[in-house]
Amino acid sequence: MREYRKPAALLLKSLLVLTLAAAWLPGGALAATQDQVNEVRQLLEEYHISKPTDEELSKPEIDEMIHSLNDPYTEYFTPEDLQRFSNAVDQSFVGTGIVMTEDDGVVYVEDVIEGSPAARAGLSPGDAIVAIDGMPTVGMTVQAVAAAESGPAGTSVAIAVKRGIVKLQFFVARAALQMPVASSRLMGDGVGYLRLDSFSSDAASRFKKQLDSLERQDIRSLVVDLRGNGGGYVDQAQQIGALFVADGILAHVADRDGNDTPIPLKGVSRDYPVYLLVDGGSASSTELLAGALQEYGVAKLVGANTYGKGVIQQLISVKSGGTLKVTVQEYKTPGGKKVDKVGLAPDVPVSGYVQQLLKAYRLAGGGNVRLTAGRGALVVNGVRMAGAGFVTRKDGVWYVNSRLAALASESVLSYDAKARQIVLTKQGGTNRLATKDSHVVVKNGVSYIDVRLLSKWYGNLSWASAGDGTLTLYDAADSADAAA
């Protein structure tokens, strides 16, 4: 007879995590002892949602046993794997605090973590990285530059950058850091924007801090960006849900015996509209939260169908060594809707990362849009995102990516293959431009339109060129700027 173990003694945290191989690499159980193999087999039989038998778990190795379950979320962790996994969920790492991006063969500082060694040293978004410890970075990828910049905590690295026409060098320490799990800002017209990157162990407190800050600025609506958020801890989704639902449930959770245990929500409600940005990378705890807020009518989902991970894992310590992350429950939305392998459908389907943000902003009551592009990033009403190829410059003239041109002018972009023309349509009016026209630059298969022509076509569209190598597009009604 197998020894019975109370779950309370073993279950460390309930998890809803989309496993991303790029975030961490599990070492597996290739050197597992027979005791570890036997204990993992016992734990899988006792806790896995599929109720596997001895016969079904007859494989001699842990990784083979787990593979036979056809469950991508059940995994065995060595202590090192567990640490990497925890770091991935909490977004913790050792580094200088620089987030890098690449644009047209140049690696830029896309962002700098607040309070990090890089921030204290004076590095800024838009800085072009030209050398690491004296080694030129010309021709290097972001991955190669990041590898050259990395090292143990407590050591330092020399980072040379070009800021405009000025060359600067910084000596930056490396330290243990955490990415900002939650961040926020005002986008304009009373629209607050709050980004949540992970349901880390402190996500709810960080989310509330940002929400409180926005509310002190008298927001009239809220856009919550959950795109690419692969999940985390269930209790954090529950606490965030309670910030929007006064009395309800987060989800129905069923164990392997079919017992339904609702996750309660006892909190407060908000008196302003909420829009959740979601996409195919929104998974697990993100879907748990989004499904509840959608069904209670608290928020509308904007973007693309979510990933579809409706199962819950728990971490169980293996006495003979290691930790088992095992699927133990399946959840459904408050209304009983299945999520696993199905996902959540948005109320407002929108394709394209920038298009999704702009749609949510306008649904939230936002008006004028301001776009600043170049040096590896696009800034939309203060919301910064990494990206390449938005603008280019030739013979002193700025050209705008045709997709960005359509967004800035609120037009619909199409291509007339027969006439070989770029077509921009707006409210019945159409502008056509041949790809071989002097106002067009084609670079790496992407078409760019002369910004001066765009401004002529759309009288409300103005532009300004900054000395830092970026181009800003904005509504002419925004009198704070003058066209250059």
Q: Among 74, 92, 110, give the residue marking a domain's end.
A: 92
> What secondary structure does DSSP assign to 290-320, as a single string?
HHHHHHTTSEEEEES------EEEEEEE-TT
Q: Which residues pair with 166 in a beta bridge?
A: 163
Calculate mean pLDDT across residues 385-391. 92
Calculate mean pLDDT across residues 104-108. 92
Q: Among 130, 162, 178, give the residue marking a domain's end.
A: 178
Rounded Cα–Cα distance for residues 71 and 36 (Å): 20
Tell me the C-alpha to C-alpha distance, in Å, between residue 409 and each of 180, 199, 249, 426, 474.
33, 36, 43, 8, 9
pLDDT at 213 over 70: yes
**pLDDT confidence of residue 144:** 96
Q: CB-based contacts of 218: which residues, under 8 Å, 6+ apart?
A: 190
Q: Tell me: do 138 and 159 sit in the same domain.
A: yes
pLDDT at 87 over 50: yes
**Residue 188 maps to which CATH number?**
3.90.226.10
Is the residue at 483 inside a domain? no
Instruction: Give the range of the structural domain holding residue 77, as residue numbers without chain letter.
Output: 7-92
**pLDDT confidence of residue 478:** 66
Rama region for 275: left / alpha / beta (φ>0; ψ in -120 to 50; rest): beta
Calculate mean pLDDT across residues 423-432. 93
pLDDT at 480 over 60: no
**pLDDT confidence of residue 410:** 92
**Residue 143 maps to which CATH number?**
2.30.42.10
Q: Among 112, 147, 178, give the residue marking a domain's end.
A: 178
Q: Among 224, 225, 215, which Cα is nearest to 190's?
A: 215
With a pLDDT cut of 90, the percent of the chain lying above it is 85
Q: How confident is the model at residue 101 (pLDDT cuts 50, 70, 90)?
A: very high
Is the residue at 484 inside a domain? no
Q: Tell me: do 18 and 105 sit in the same domain.
A: no
pLDDT at 141 over 50: yes
Rama region for 308: left / alpha / beta (φ>0; ψ in -120 to 50; rest): left
Rounded Cα–Cα distance for residues 350 and 361 (Å): 13
Rounded Cα–Cα distance for residues 52 and 387 (Å): 46
**pLDDT confidence of residue 31:** 62
User: pLDDT digit string (tens) for 223-233?
Assistant: 999 999 999 99
User: What are the structure tokens assigned to 66, written together?
Assistant: 């787990």
The model's pTM: 0.89
Q: Tell me: do 106 and 58 sit in the same domain.
A: no
Q: Among 398, 390, 381, which Cα is nearest to 450's?
A: 398
Q: Among 282, 389, 293, 295, which Cα is nearest to 343's?
A: 282
Q: Tell me: do 236 and 348 sit in the same domain.
A: yes
Q: Tell me: do 172 and 24 sit in the same domain.
A: no
Is the residue at 317 inside a domain? no
Number of domains in the chain: 4
User: pLDDT digit string (tens) for 175-184?
Assistant: 999 888 999 9
Is residue 108 within a helix (H) or strand (E), and if so which, with residue range?
A: strand 106-112
Q: Tell me: do 252 and 186 sit in the same domain.
A: yes
Output the average pLDDT for the chain: 91
**pLDDT confidence of residue 10:** 28
User: pLDDT digit string (tens) for 234-256?
Assistant: 999 999 999 999 999 999 999 99
Q: Tell me: do 288 and 376 sit in the same domain.
A: no
**pLDDT confidence of residue 27:** 47
Q: How confident is the model at residue 19 (pLDDT cuts 50, 70, 90)?
A: very low
pLDDT at 3 over 50: no
| Neighbour-count burial of 233, counting CB atoms closer than 10 A to its CB (0-12 exposed, 13-18 middle, 19+ buried) | buried
With a pLDDT cut of 70, the percent of the chain lying above it is 92
Position with higher pLDDT, 307 vs 55: 307
Q: Among 66, 70, 3, which Cα is nearest to 32's?
A: 66
